[in-house]
Amino acid sequence: MAHLKSFDVPLRFAAGLALFLIAAPGSLAPLRAQAQGVDSTLVARFQLAESYLRGAQYDRAITLLEDLYEASPETHVFYDRLRQAYENVKRYDDALRLIDDQMKRTRAPTTLLSEKARLLYLKGDEEAALATWEAALEALPENANTYLTVYRSMMRLRLFEEAIAVLEEGRRTLKRDDLFQTDLAYLYSLTGAHARAMAEYLGLLARNERRLSFVRSRLSRYTDQEEALRAGIAVVEQAVRRNPLNRAFRELLSWLYLEGGMYRQALNANRAIDRLEQERGQVLFTFARQAADAGAYDVALEAYEEILARYPDAPAAPEAVRGLAEMYERRAEKNGERAFDARGNRIPAPNYDQALDAYRTFLQRYPNHPRYPDVLRRIGRLQQDVFFDLGAAEATLREVVDRYPNTDAAHRAEYDLGRIALQRNRLDAARLTFSRLADRLRTGELAELARYELALIHFYQGEFDAALTLTEAMKENTSADVANDAIELKVLLVENKGPDSLNTPLRRYAEARLLQRRHQPAEAVAVLDELLQTYGGHPLADDARFLRASLLRQMGRAEDALAAFLELPLLHPQSYLADRSLFAAGELQESVFDDAEAALQTYTRILIEYPGSLLVSDARARIRALRGDGA
């Protein structure tokens, strides 16, 4: 019966209409004895009219609907479709006469009067429309639905101010300040009366705190408007002062602070909720995670520290210790902190040191916690990637693999062990580790990362065809983030082979990339200098120059790195790396040289010279920050 599917809705409607017509009073009553035949005829004609309406053949539909309405004016669907058809062809006088005819048949004219007013307004007779809406209100002034009916009629015409007046009149007449709260809040927001809108939402929450999610969803449409956010915060702050024990008010205020990037104020709001509700740090913990996701690491740190100071034995304490360590780590990354200088000397890295101490504190306090394997692996990763203590890192990661096999932490530790083998230039051992991991996991992000590392090992060893085969396979898995890296490697391989059969420039570039992985930036720069001197006109030159600039920055040679980044767009204006190079230069000017004006000019170059760049939004954000927009 699949061929009947498209007619399912019309058939169901026809059956319902037939039943309605059989029972209809008035003009069809004498035909009840012959109901089946008469109903079938009416249904068929109505369905034909419906098909004309769907095909925008309004004149044909109107002819049929007029006959149907004359046969059964009490049948609402006949009236409704005929009125709609008149309206579609702007025969407003005919539609109005139809409504007047219907009004003779009903004792509840509010809906019909509202509809009549709307048609009068469409016709252009605004004065008569307003008078008719007023008549609709006067018909049943003690019924709340009267005001809703008129309001909805006005909303169809986007008469927001008039609709507000109607609902406010309803409140006064019925002496009910709690009526129409969601409708008025919506209308106030539409007309820019954000403080009044917030007052309505607070009234809704005062009656039912469980409506908080609904209120937030409504407000989220306007929180990107600074004026709306500022007005809303002021109203809620006042409400919290008047009703300090209302949790919903405080949670709404905290959410508004977060939406506005006011993390310190949000922390204070959540601190108060946690204490008043005796949550023993759970509210603070949830907030800390929100602040961390927004990049407010200092505030998140403070929240975690307060949990541990006030509630050291609370259920949230273990996660707070782990969160504390993670915040130190993220803050170090944000600040570009390093544990070694350009000459390889150990230098203070306070955030990384504190992260390591916090992770170790977790291991000491909570040896049986489910997060123990993950924290142990994080220590190994810090030892590997920050402190470059490959021996300690290997011992730590091996412990994770041996003690907690078949866990996510063990799989990730095994991946890191493969990277250690690569860093030690043990490419065959690294290849074996990544192959086993990819074969075991088969799918998922970590499996794709392992396959990408296998492609890189082929690349480092000059096995370009094998690397290309792997990247081709990975391209199909677009759900994995690493697929973008695989595509980039594939493009590099396809576009930069030759000029000789040995692919010498590409081999030298691969050698530099491996030296970079092995934390030998000076040696990598030497290889790239030789490559550019010999093959300066090769298509690979822009990649080589970008890598060289990145290595100079890594070595602490900021001035040389800045010059290299700024030179690349001049030498290779059409390169896919030109916009990235400008952005990297802007970051150096901003963070290292503290030259806001130069950074502003460099970020602006991205907007002008590369308007289609994926970095345009980031460049605009940096420009706004440097100008102090919205401060």
pLDDT digits (tens, 9 = 90+) for 302-356: 999 999 999 999 999 999 999 999 999 999 998 889 898 877 789 999 999 999 9
Average pLDDT over residues 186-201: 97
pLDDT digits (tens, 9 = 90+) for 277-294: 999 999 999 999 999 999
In whole angstroms, how far apart are CA 391 and each of 375, 376, 387, 395?
Answer: 18, 15, 11, 6
Task: Give the separation between CA 189 and CA 601, rounded to whole angstroms.
Answer: 38
Average pLDDT over residues 207-231: 95
Nearest Cα residue to 441 out of 471, 398, 470, 406: 406
Task: Give the separation between CA 453 and CA 177, rounded to whole angstroms.
Answer: 66
Secondary structure (3-state) at 346: strand
In whole angstroms, how far apart are CA 382 and each of 161, 347, 513, 555?
Answer: 61, 15, 22, 19
What are 4's two structure tokens?
């009947």
Task: Give the separation between CA 171 and CA 169, rounded to whole angstroms.
Answer: 5
Nearest Cα residue to 380 out of 406, 341, 413: 413
Average pLDDT over residues 482-496: 92
Q: Residue 69: pLDDT band by 50, 70, 90 thresholds?
A: very high
CATH architecture of 557-631: Alpha Horseshoe (1.25)
Domain 1-105 falls under CATH 1.25.40: yes
Cα-based angle 348, 352, 356 (whole degrees, multiple of 5): 120
Nearest Cα residue to 27 out of 19, 38, 17: 38
Alpha helices per DSSP H over 89-193 = 92-103, 110-123, 126-139, 144-155, 160-174, 181-190
Topology match between the domains 1-105 and 557-631? yes
According to the model, what pLDDT value does residue 3 have?
Answer: 35
Q: Residue 115 contacts by C-beta under 8 Å, 6 or more apart in sequence?
A: 83, 99, 153
Long-range pairs, 303-310, Cβ under 8 A, ≥24: 303/267, 303/270, 303/271, 306/271, 306/281, 307/281, 310/281
Pair 96, 119: CB distance under 8 Å: yes
How many angstroms from the chain centroid is the CA of residue 6? 37
Pair 430, 414: CB distance under 8 Å: no
What are 164's two structure tokens?
């507000």
What residue type is 261 in one-letter code? G
What residue type is 72 in one-letter code? S
- Domain parsing of the chain, residue ranges: 1-105, 557-631
In whole angstroms, how far apart are CA 527 and each of 161, 329, 365, 541, 564?
Answer: 72, 33, 48, 13, 16
pLDDT digits (tens, 9 = 90+) for 3-15: 333 333 343 444 4
Nearest Cα residue to 186 out of 204, 209, 170: 204
According to the model, what pLDDT value does residue 425 have?
Answer: 95
| Mean pLDDT, the chain, integer | 91
Which of 130-134, 193-197, 311-315, 479-483 is least confident? 479-483
pTM: 0.77
Q: Residue 595: pLDDT band by 50, 70, 90 thresholds?
A: very high
What are 514's two structure tokens?
């491996």
What residue type is 235 in one-letter code? V
